[in-house]
Structure 1
Amino acid sequence: MPSHTESRGSLAIVGLGPGRTEYITPRALKAVAGADYVIGNALYLEPLEQIIKGKQVIRSSMGKEVERAQQAIDLAHEHRVAIVSGGDAGVYGMASIVLEVLEHSGDEIEVEIIPGVTAANAAASRVGSPLSGDFAVISLSDLLTPLDVIEARLDAVFSVGIPVVLYNPKSRGRPHNFALAIEHARKHLEPTTPVAIVKNALRDEEEQIITTLGEIEKSEQAVDMHTTVIIGGRESRIWRMKDNVKGIITPRGYHHKYVY
């Protein structure tokens, strides 16, 4: 077993984006292709089946993140290891827990974090330009963050009038957190504020709904764990081509300086 300062292997923490291989970066694909071991949630490994043939593949499940991180670190002393994460590994992904476990161990290994397209970017790209300036991303999952902390953060970001992206908006185990988020939004934003509901962004069976904060309940049945919800800010507006609703625009401010 190598000492804390010796390592002949390496560890890549890889963001895979929304799922389709065309949205995985070339660097991410190269890291996976060059790995001896590939570790990840079984769902995230599905798009990589052709790349990971013949490799040592360790499939895991939700709730096993700490064990997955420790296994990746142990193997990376002697082998090239890629641990994969949906979206961007550093945004509600595997990067933080892997680095925390590594820090706690005192080991020294070569680590590379490879970015991927996170759900906020994927969803925004399908509904215009809702995130063209400052925005916030809040997860409504209270598995690791207490609900009172989530509510305080929601109230703070909605109060400044910027667009807010909601991750993990609703599940069977916590069906009411989304309604709480809408309550906080309505304290600070007008009922006409545009809202985008994007399900399976940049994946098969993608769906998009453009609605408003005042009418969100009419579309709430579409909100689940495969959905990203974008609530516009004070300057956001619904984007139309002729009479057809296409998405949301949040002006960046060019109209204050230029005539167009």
Structure 2
Amino acid sequence: MQAISRSSVVVGYTPYIDSVADLTGGKELIVSGMKQERERCMAALRRAAEGATVALVSSGDPGVYGMAGLALELAQAHDFQCTIEIIPGVSAANAAAARLGAPLMLDYACISLSDLLIPWERIRQRIELLAQADMALALYNPRSTKRVRQLEEAVEILLRHRPAATPVGIVTAASAADETTTLTTLGNLLEQTITMRSLVIIGNSDTRELNGMLVTARGYRL
């Protein structure tokens, strides 16, 4: 909030800028739609190089599947002379975990199932190795209207290494007004309503459902 209030220019994806409309009155707004991340970063860097104080807004955490990395890469590639400060946010994995209980209490990994920028075979390999490592998994971008098979293949891989009864939590639109939360199992995961706004947390062998909450035991003596 402080960073946005101190900025004269706010740049971001249209729904994200809409969500902070109460903070942007009187400011220059640069907004655009999906798949225009590079253009947004370039616009933000140009205005910053001109001397403006610019807020480049991401959802969740800008350093976790957000805009921070791209902004740093473009600043170096195009020799923009400006100072960049990364302000951490609450990642979707941690926001969803808090809604579900404490499913990420031990080692865990975040995997995006979107193969728009990463080859699917590389993503498959990571899922396979993490499944064998018995780590809890937070799946970002699990499914869209056009992209269904990725989640199906991920579940197929996981079921080779984990019981169908493995606890799973789904949080859609975490922290938003239309947030929904679902507890299920790995064997029943594909029957649930899952969208691009969903975050799926798949437990490991130490994850249990306790009074409607998921808990991954860390090993404390009770």
TM range (shorter): over 0.9
In structure 2, C-alpha distance between the alignment counterparts of 1:36 and 1:207, rounded to whole Å: 35
Partner of 1:144: 117
1:192 positional shift? 1.5
193, 208, 219: which one aligns with 1:253: 219
- Check 1:37–1:165 CA distance in 2 against 1; reply closer, same or farther (3 A cut): same
Unaligned runs of 5+ in 1: 1-28, 241-245
**Pick aligned residue for 1:225 from 151, 175, 196:** 196
- Asked if 2 retains the 8 angstrom alpha-carbon contact of 1:75 and 1:81, the reply is yes
Identity of aligned residues (%): 39
Match of 1:43 among 3, 11, 15: 15
CA distance in 2, matches of 1:176, 1:81: 39
Deviation at 1:60, TM superposition (A): 1.1
Alignment-derived partner of residue 151 in structure 2: 178
**Equivalent position SS for 2:22:** coil
Find the counterpart in structure 1 of residue 31 from structure 2.
Answer: 59
Q: Spell out structure 1 runs of 4+ moving beyond 3 A.
A: none
Q: Could you list the per-position Cα deviations for residues 4-36 of structure 1 after superposition, in whole angstroms to 9, with x for gaps in the alignment? A: xxxxxxxxxxxxxxxxxxxxxxxxx11101111
Q: Normalization by structure 2: what TM-score?
A: 0.97
Give how far 1:215 is off.
2.2
3-state DSSP of counterpart to 1:71: helix
The alpha carbon displacement at 1:128 in A equals 0.7
Residues 76-95 of structure 1 mapped to structure 2, 5 A cutoff: 76-77=48-49, 78-95=51-68
Partner of 2:187: 214
Aligned length: 221
Separation (CA, whole Å) in 2 of partners of 1:73 and 1:217: 41
* Aligned equivalent of 1:243: none
Partner of 2:89, secondary structure, is: coil
* Contact 1:131–1:163 (8 Å) recurs in 2: yes
1:155 paired with 2:121, answer: no
Q: Return the letter of the residue paired with 1:52.
A: T
Pairwise CA RMSD: 1.0
